[in-house]
Structure 1
Amino acid sequence: MFARLLSAVVVGIDAALVEVQCDVASGLPTFQVVGLPEKEVTESRERIRSAIKNSGYSFPAKRITANLAPADLRKEGVGFDLPSALGILVASGQIPSLTSQYLVLGELSLNGEVRRIHGVLPIALAAKQADLKGMIVPEANATEAALVDGVAVYPVRTLAEAASLLSGELTVPCFKIDRDALMAQVTAPPRVDIVEVKGQEQAKRALEVAAAGGHNLLMIGPPGAGKSLLARCLPGILPPLSFAEALEVTRVYSIAGMLDRDTPLITQRPFRSPHHTISYAGMVGGGRGLPGPGEITLAHHGVLFLDELPEFDRRVVETLRQPLEDRSILLSRAGVSVRYPSNFTLVGAMNPCPCGHLGDHLHPCTCNPHEIRRYRKRLSGPFLDRIDLFVEVPRLTPEELLTRPQGEDSHAIRARVEKTRRIQWERMKDKPGRFSNAELNSKEIAKYCALDQDAKGLLEMAIDRFALSARAYTRVLRVARTIADLSGAPLIRAEHLAEAIQYRSIDEDLA
């Protein structure tokens, strides 16, 4: 006899529907899985055999073939256990024929329990697009699947429960969640409040500009000046995630298997801070089989913080150049290519020299000029061209250390940032997928970055003085547009441009 069910496999950030076809025929007792399965899929044969027996059914002593169609699509993961087992039960006549309007997912334990799997959210989105009747998922994945509106979700705990549900012997209520309650967590207090940072007013201003326009930032200063603490304040002053953005971030973490059961929807902007020993694959994505997301994708709609930036492998740093421009990364392997989103704000931190004390009046620098040049040359000119803001973070004075932290808190700065972002959203409402000044293209810069007469003269002098490249020139204008938006000015004035140029003046020392 023959049976078919629908399942799905994750391919990059999306999912593809897979038809699980099971045939039970006379012949020598064998169990084969075909259709380009990976190792974990072929290993499911023993899990399925034990789960069927321990659920009160008999495993047929016949020739069993499970085909995963389309056969030219690589199948990974353990989500095919449950549909394959149900298909065998139907094909062997132990349960009635099933409707093909349900998508079935789940890993099986040896005792028949249905275990949690990865990537349920993109599969639920694919099920909605295919206009399926509903999804049968592990109970532990029900909340994640229910995030998608318009898809009925039926959670099951065991193979026997899934079989009874599909045969009509058991009624399981459709699982629903309160999306508004989940999104209420967006307004949670920031992990680190910027008011906790002592001094560093210039760096705080640079953080506000970076948050307001989505600009990349590099902080340079001696050890212990507060660079890491400042970087951790940035997510707290960025605008809250919209539901669409939260769904995108959650989809990435679902694929990566990093979604907590108690946190079905990620409502806080990600903050990723990989160690400088990270590999190329760890940064941009990779792994065996289908490439998985890397740190630049896990930081999507959030912050990627690279502390001790010159200590990173140069090949790893250089791979960031294209994602910083394109806001996505294309990973190509033998026979497969996947594209992951990587729309993040890059924040780097570095010392001014190998010993870290160049320019520090309390600790004399012990590096010779050759060592300083070699240290700074670890960052290439094309990479530095993609940084919008360069800011010095000097050692705190005794007075600053001894006084209590003062200044505005993250909530007050976020309010200004949100107001500025609304100006940009209105400006770019006809440009889908782009929301900030950092994403303005050349045509839009010419349209929206109008300068007054004094600013034009200042820009001409800056181009000659700092030998700005075409990319650096456009980035100066984008930053100036953000500073003007923060002050509510329609035209970029000389003071806005002067501040933007000031954030690139340190770049000359690094070159």
Structure 2
Amino acid sequence: MTMGRARSVVLIGMEGRLIEVEADIGQTLPAFVLLGLPDAALRESQDRIRSAAKNTGLDLSRRRLTVNLFPASLPKSGSGLDLAILMSAWAADGYMTGTSDVVFLAELGLDGRLRPVKGILPSVAAAAAAGIGTVVVSADNAAEAALVSGVEVLTADHVLPIAHHFGTAKARKVLRPPETAPERITGGSGSSGSPHELHERDLAEVRGQQEARFALEVAAAGGHHMLLMGAPGAGKTMLAERLPSILPPLDDEESMVATAIASISSGATSVTQLQRSRPFEAPHHSASAASILGGGSRIPGPGAATRAHLGVLFLDEAPEFHRHVLDSLRQPLERGAITLHRSAGQVTYPASFQLVLAANPCPCGMNVGSGRQCVCSVAQRRNYLSRLSGPLLDRVDVQVKVDRPRSAALALEDRGECSATVAQRVQHARQRQGSRLGPHGLKLNSQAPLSLLSNELRLPRASLQALDASLDRAQISLRGYVRVLRLAWTLSDLSFKDIPDHEDIDIALHLRHVGVRP
């Protein structure tokens, strides 16, 4: 037999594409030809595979070996195809059998050891969706692969046990006995973990700041974006870091998506169970647009906005970020996804996050209410805050001024509610939203479109007088009008009202613009 086949998976963004690896042994001069748009890392696999085969005791054929990665028009990258290429080459030489319907996902060491690769969870999920019943991964990726149900997972530390498992009688005459047999791991849903296992910071640690705490609860309940404006030391960062502790845990479907993002973003061995707590990303203000949105020369990788999907993206010292970086978030705030275009193609990543901005009122940070003399001119303050563009702020529903606590007694003795108590109210409010918006395919008030708010969820005209007046006086835009309505529905859900009344509208308008401009 001069033809061998095996399967593998390559990732285009978060989408796994099944790859058929075909190996053919010709009768011409010795060569190793790799076809199918491989990148540099994949081309280097030729030498890794030859060394791994030699050190296993089963050399590759000394004739011309041609390996085709189908579909040939799809760009392929990474080292995860190493094992599949080796198995197809051995199959072409008559050493392996039964590899044509098995997905192999592992990098090879020069001594034949199997090394872990990133993106195992979405890759195995793609294999399962394509009807593949058996997947072979390295031992370090076993726990992650087992998170996908309905797939038989074989794993080993070295390629030798895998070769014995699929080897023919011809191969067993040459191979030395394996040290260990492939360990079989049954598929499963993984460990769910504690809802707040990654968020030990409690809202009770925030002393005072009743208005800011209330605004944080409203933002959590409806999934609204938020701006915290105040002097240094007022507690802006402390509040933002405790937002995940009052958010509900991820459900099963959301957990699979969040864990898949972690799988393609982090180290290859870091994912061992499903992620149940909401992600929290806080990039430094020197971050580039590529690090926030995602980037790369061929197929771009995910950025902080994607890693914060279904969770919180916190930009501390927001005016210190480059303005074009901040404005680049406007599209994902509306769409909940990021599409990146490169010469090798385009990729779309999910980016439905809750944005939290924190900013000082001026460059020195000592504006009115800080207790110290501000040394900034009016022009300096305006230039500083103008880095937060109007179109960006128009997409931020809750804008809160955070003042420093006025007395030591308030700061040290007033202990507010803990995160667990607030989280219960947030969960109940989200359940009410789910019941109301579920028939329309929505979950949160922050997702409600104008068409829904002006028809099925239309409020009485008497309740909208203050909001209509603000729109007529050009104090808010039509986008702001919609976002105030969304806030009002969240306030009514927290108060267990059937529909918002004029008081909810007034509070929503107050939260919308509470005087954060100088």
Q: Which TM-score band (shorter chain)?
A: over 0.9
User: Do the aligned partners of 1:143 and 1:176 also contact (CA within 8 Å) in 2?
Assistant: no
- In structure 2, the partner of 1:77 is 78
Distance 2:371 2:430 in 1: 41
Q: Could you list the per-position Cα deviations for residues 252-307 of structure 1 after superposition, in whole angstroms to 9, with x for gaps in the alignment?
A: 11112346536332222111000011111111111121010011000001100000
Instruction: Tell me if 1:96 matches 2:96.
Output: yes
CA distance in 1, matches of 2:133, 2:465: 64
Please state how far the C-alpha of 1:154 moved relative to its aligned partner. 1.2
2:373 to 364, 388, 405: 364
Report the CA distance shift for 1:475/1:262 in structure 2 as closer, same or farther (over 3 A).
Answer: closer
Indicate the SS of the match to 1:429. Answer: helix
Give the Cα–Cα distance (whole angstroms) in 1 for the partners of residues 45 and 271 of structure 2.
Answer: 28
In structure 2, C-alpha distance between the alignment counterparts of 1:449 and 1:307, rounded to whole Å: 35
**Cα distance change of structure 1 residues 91 and 308 upon mapping to structure 2, 3 Å threshold:** same
Q: How far apart are residue 400 of structure 1 and its match?
A: 4.3
* Range moving further from structure 2, 389-398 or 32-41: 389-398
Judge conservation of contact 1:33–1:65 (CA < 8 Å) in 2.
Answer: yes
Distance in structure 1 (CA, Å) of the matches to 2:271 and 2:86: 29
Opposite residue 21 of structure 2, the aligned amino acid is V
- Does 1:107 find its partner at 2:107? yes
1:205-220 matches, cutoff 5 A = 205-220=214-229
Note if contact 2:7-2:100 (Cα within 8 Å) is conserved in structure 1.
yes
Match of 1:305 among 307, 314, 319: 314
Aligned CA distance change for structure 1 residues 178 and 71 (closer, same or farther; 3 Å): closer
Looking at structure 1, the residues matched to 410 and 499 of structure 2 have their Cα atoms a distance apart, in angstroms, of: 39
Structure 2 distance, partners of 1:177, 1:414, is: 33
Contact kept in structure 2, 1:286 and 1:331, CA below 8 Å: yes
Task: Work out whether 1:175 is the aligned partner of 2:176.
Answer: no
Does the 8 A contact of 1:134 with 1:152 survive in 2? yes
Contact 2:116 2:268 in 1 (8 A): no
Structure 1 residues 128-151: Cα deviation after superposition (integer angstroms, max 9, x where no partner): 111112111111111111111111
How far off is 1:425 after superposition?
Answer: 1.2
In 2, the alpha carbon distance for the partners of 1:43 and 1:140 equals 22
Q: Is the 8 A contact 1:450 1:492 kept in 2?
A: no
Structure 1 residues without counterparts, runs of 5 or longer = none
Structure 1 position 362, deviation (Å): 2.1
Q: Which residue of 2 aligns with 1:126?
A: 126
Give the structure 2 partner of residue 5 of structure 1.
6
Describe the superposition over 1:183-238 as per-residue Cα deviations: whole angstroms up to 9, x where unpaired: 13225373210000111111111110000000000000000111111000000000
- 2:175 — aligned with what? none
Distance 1:49 1:83, change over 3 A: same
Note closer, same or farther for the CA distance 1:177–1:131 as it changes in structure 2 (3 Å cut). closer
Where does residue 223 of structure 1 map in the other structure? 232
1:22-58: CA deviation from partner (whole Å, max 9, x where unpaired):
1122222211211100000000111111100111112
1:350 alignment partner in structure 2: 359
The whole-number CA distance in structure 2 between the counterparts of 1:190 and 1:92 is 54
Matched to 1:20, the amino acid is V
Deviates more, 1:62-71 or 1:500-509: 500-509
Aligned mate of 1:388, from 375, 378, 397: 397
Letter in 1 for 2:139: E
State whether residues 279 and 310 of structure 2, in contact with CA within 8 Å, keep that contact through their aligned partners in structure 1: yes
Q: For residues 174 and 306 of structure 1, do their structure 2 counterparts lie closer, same or farther at Cα, with a shift above 3 Å needed?
A: same
Whether the 8 Å CA contact 2:135–2:154 is kept in 1: the answer is yes
Q: Which letter does structure 2 place at the counterpart of 1:365?
A: C
**Cα 1:178/1:70, change in 2 over 3 Å:** closer
SS of aligned partner of 2:242: helix
In the TM superposition, 1:428-507 aligns within 5 A as 428-432=437-441, 434-447=442-455, 449-452=457-460, 454-465=462-473, 467-506=475-514
Q: CA deviation at 1:96?
A: 3.3
1:54-453 to 2 correspondence within 5 Å? 54-93=55-94, 95-167=95-167, 172=182, 174-176=184-186, 179=189, 182-188=191-197, 190-258=199-267, 260-261=269-270, 263-360=272-369, 362-400=371-409, 403-432=412-441, 434-447=442-455, 449-452=457-460
* Alpha-carbon distance change, 226 to 353 in structure 1, aligned in 2, over 3 angstroms: same
Change (3 A) 1:243 1:259: farther
What residue is the counterpart of 1:16 in the other structure? 17
Q: 1:358 to 1:465 in 2, by over 3 A?
A: farther
How far apart, in 2, do the equivalents of 1:507 and 1:324 lie?
Answer: 23
SS state at 1:362 partner: coil
C-alpha contact 2:144 2:271 (8 A) present in aligned 1:
no
Give the CA deviation at 1:405.
4.8
Q: Which of 448-457 and 377-386 deviates more?
A: 448-457
Does the CA-based 8 Å contact 2:363-2:380 persist in structure 1?
Answer: yes
Q: Answer with 453-462 or 319-328: which moved more.
A: 453-462
Q: How many residues are paired up?
A: 507
Consecutive unaligned residues of structure 2, counting only runs of 5 or more, are 173-177
Cα RMSD of the aligned pairs, angstroms, is: 1.9
Normalising by structure 1, report the TM-score: 0.95
Q: Which residue matches 1:35?
A: 36
AA paired with 1:240? P
Cα distance, 1:243 vs structure 2? 1.3
Offset at residue 453 of structure 1 (A): 5.2
TM-superposed CA distance for 1:448, in Å, is 5.2
In structure 1, what is the Cα distance between the partners aligned to 2:80 and 2:10?
Answer: 8
Measured after TM superposition, the shift of residue 459 of structure 1 is 1.8
- Given that residues 276 and 312 in structure 1 are in contact (C-alpha distance below 8 angstroms), is that contact kept between their aligned partners in structure 2? yes
Please state whether the residue corresponding to 2:480 is helix, strand or coil. helix
Deviates more, 1:370-379 or 1:262-271: 262-271
Alignment CA distance shift 1:402-1:185 (3 Å):
closer
Q: Is the 8 A contact 1:452 1:492 kept in 2?
A: no
CA distance in 2, matches of 1:472, 1:402: 34
